[in-house]
C-alpha cells in the first residue's frame, strides 16, 4: 500500500506484540496487525497456524500472554466494563459453520444479540430482524424457518444477518464461504462487498477461498511462523518469494483463477 495513503487511513483494529499459547505450545508470538476502516482484509495461513486463535483472542474469547489490542482506538485493557460492552456492540462475528442456535428460528437467532445488549420492544426487534433478513438477500419467509430447514447458503446468510444485528462497524468472518458451491460462494462474496460499500463496514475475513482473496479482498495478510509473515495486495502476494506464499498464490489452483480473471 502507498505509504501516504496508509498514513491517512484510520486504523480500526490494531494488534501489537500479541503472544498466545496453550501450555508449551506457543501459537502466536509477538504478532502485529493493523486493519483499516472500510477495507476487506483476507487472512490466510496453513491449517493449524493460528487464524482462529487470533480471531478469538481479538474478541477476548481466549487469554493472551502478552500484547496490546486496540479496537477503534480504545485499548481493551484500559476500558471500563461499560465501555467494553459498547465496543463489543460494534463488532459482528460470523463463526465457522454458521453456528446458529438450532432450536431457534432465523428471526429468533437474529434477535439473540438484541436481547443480550438492548432493551427493545418485541415489535421493534421483529421489524429490525425483518430488515436484516432483507439486507442479506433472504426471502421474508426464511425468518420463520429453523436452521435445519435451510440450505448451506441460506444458513450463511442467516448467520451474517445475526452478525449484523447490532449494526456493527467491524465484522469478523471465519471461513464464510466454506461448504458453499462456487456459485453460492461467489454470491456470498458479492454480498459482503455490497455490504461493505453500502454500510461502510470493515471486514476481517479468515478464508482458504482463493476466489474470495482474488475477487473481494483489498488486502491480504498471511499468518506463518506465529506472526504475520507478509501483508499487502494480491499483486504483493504474487510477487512474494516465501515458498508457502508462492505455492498458495501461484499454485495450480491459483493459476486457473488468474487465467479466468
Ligand atoms: N483451546 C485450545 N486449547 C489448546 N490448543 C488450542 C486451542 N485452540 C487452538 N489450539 C491450538 O492452536 C493451534 C492453532 O489453531 P487454530 O484453530 O487457530 O488454527 P487455524 O489456523 O484456524 O486452522 P484451520 O485453518 O485448520 O481452521 C493448533 O495447534 C491448535 O491445536
The pLDDT assigned to 173 comes to 93
Q: Is 257 exposed, middle or buried (0-12, 13-18, 19+ CB in 10 A)?
A: middle
Which residue CA neighbors atom 6 of ligand 1 most closely?
A: 22
Q: Which residue has the cell 472500510?
A: 38
Tell me the sheet residues that pair with 11: 36
From the CB of 51, is ligand 1 less than 6 Å away? yes
Find the DSSP H helices in 164-233.
182-199, 210-215
- Residue among 19, 20, 21, 22 to mutate when testing ligand 1 (max atoms within 8 A of CB): 22
User: How confident is the model over 121-180, as pLDDT tens digits?
Assistant: 999 999 999 999 999 999 999 999 999 999 888 998 999 999 999 999 999 999 888 888
pTM of the model: 0.90
From the CB of 168, is ligand 1 less than 6 Å away? no
Q: How far is the CA of 199 from the centre of ligand 1 (A)?
A: 32
Q: How far is the CA of 222 from the centre of ligand 1 (A)?
A: 16
Average pLDDT of the chain, as a whole number: 89
Nearest to 217, CA basis, from 228, 232, 230 = 232
The pLDDT assigned to 212 comes to 82
From the CB of 28, is ligand 1 less than 6 Å away? no
The pLDDT assigned to 40 comes to 95
Give the separation between CA 28 and CA 207, rounded to whole angstroms: 18
Give the separation between CA 261 and CA 16, rounded to whole angstroms: 36
From the CB of 49, is ligand 1 less than 6 Å away? yes
User: How confident is the model over 203-218, as pLDDT tens digits?
Assistant: 999 988 888 888 889 9
Q: How far is the CA of 21 from the centre of ligand 1 (A)?
A: 10
According to DSSP, residue 83 is labeled H
Per-residue pLDDT of the chain (261 residues; tens, 9 = 90+): 555 555 568 999 999 999 999 999 999 999 999 999 999 999 999 889 999 999 999 998 999 999 999 999 999 989 888 888 889 999 999 987 668 999 999 999 999 999 988 989 999 999 999 999 999 999 999 999 999 999 888 998 999 999 999 999 999 999 888 888 888 889 889 999 999 999 999 999 998 888 888 888 999 999 999 999 999 998 899 888 998 888 888 876 666 665 555
Nearest to 216, CA basis, from 231, 197, 200, 230 = 197
From the CB of 24, is ligand 1 less than 6 Å away? no
Q: Give Cα separations from 200 to 27, 37, 38, 93, 173 (angstroms).
A: 32, 8, 6, 16, 16
From the CB of 27, is ligand 1 less than 6 Å away? yes
Nearest to 228, CA basis, from 7, 31, 53 = 31
Q: How far is the CA of 50 from the centre of ligand 1 (A)?
A: 5
Which residue CA neighbors atom 26 of ligand 1 most closely?
A: 47
Q: How far is the CA of 206 from the centre of ligand 1 (A)?
A: 13
Q: How far is the CA of 117 from the centre of ligand 1 (A)?
A: 29
Give the separation between CA 177 and CA 208, rounded to whole angstroms: 9
From the CB of 47, is ligand 1 less than 6 Å away? yes
The pLDDT assigned to 140 comes to 95
Q: What angle do CA 78, 76, 85 make, to 5 degrees?
A: 105
Which residue CA neighbors atom 20 of ligand 1 most closely?
A: 48
Phi, psi of 132 (to 5 degrees): -70, -40
Relative to beta strand 91-94, strand 170-174 is parallel
Cβ-based neighbour number of residue 252 at 10 Å:
7
Amino acid at each position: 500500500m502507498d505509504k501516504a495513503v496508509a498514513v491517512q487511513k484510520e486504523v480500526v483494529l490494531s494488534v501489537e506484540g500479541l503472544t498466545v499459547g496453550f501450555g508449551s505450545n506457543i501459537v502466536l508470538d509477538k504478532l502485529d496487525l493493523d486493519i483499516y476502516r472500510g477495507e476487506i482484509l483476507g487472512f490466510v495461513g496453513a491449517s493449524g497456524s493460528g487464524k482462529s486463535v487470533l480471531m478469538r483472542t481479538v474478541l477476548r474469547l481466549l487469554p493472551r500472554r502478552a500484547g496490546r489490542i486496540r479496537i477503534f482506538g480504545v485499548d481493551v485493557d484500559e476500558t471500563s466494563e461499560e465501555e467494553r460492552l459498547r465496543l463489543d456492540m460494534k463488532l459482528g462475528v460470523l463463526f465457522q459453520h454458521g453456528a446458529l442456535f438450532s432450536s431457534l428460528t432465523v428471526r429468533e437467532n437474529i434477535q439473540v444479540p438484541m436481547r443480550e445488549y438492548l432493551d427493545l420492544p418485541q415489535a421493534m426487534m421483529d421489524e429490525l430482524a425483518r430488515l436484516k433478513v432483507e439486507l442479506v438477500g433472504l426471502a421474508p419467509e426464511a425468518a420463520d424457518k429453523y436452521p435445519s430447514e435451510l440450505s448451506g447458503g441460506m444458513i450463511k446468510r442467516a448467520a451474517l444477518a445475526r452478525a449484523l444485528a447490532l449494526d456493527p462497524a467491524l465484522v469478523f468472518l471465519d471461513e464464510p464461504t466454506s461448504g458453499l458451491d462456487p456459485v453460492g460462494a461467489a454470491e456470498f462474496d458479492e454480498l459482503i462487498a455490497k455490504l461493505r460499500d453500502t454500510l461502510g463496514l470493515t471486514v476481517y475475513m479468515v478464508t482458504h477461498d482463493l476466489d474470495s482473496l482474488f475477487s473481494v479482498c483489498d488486502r491480504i495478510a498471511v499468518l506463518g511462523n506465529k506472526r504475520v509473515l507478509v501483508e499487502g495486495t494480491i499483486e504483493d502476494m504474487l510477487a512474494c518469494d516465501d515458498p508457502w506464499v508462492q505455492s498458495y498464490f501461484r499454485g495450480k489452483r491459483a493459476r486457473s483463477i488468474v487465467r479466468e480473471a
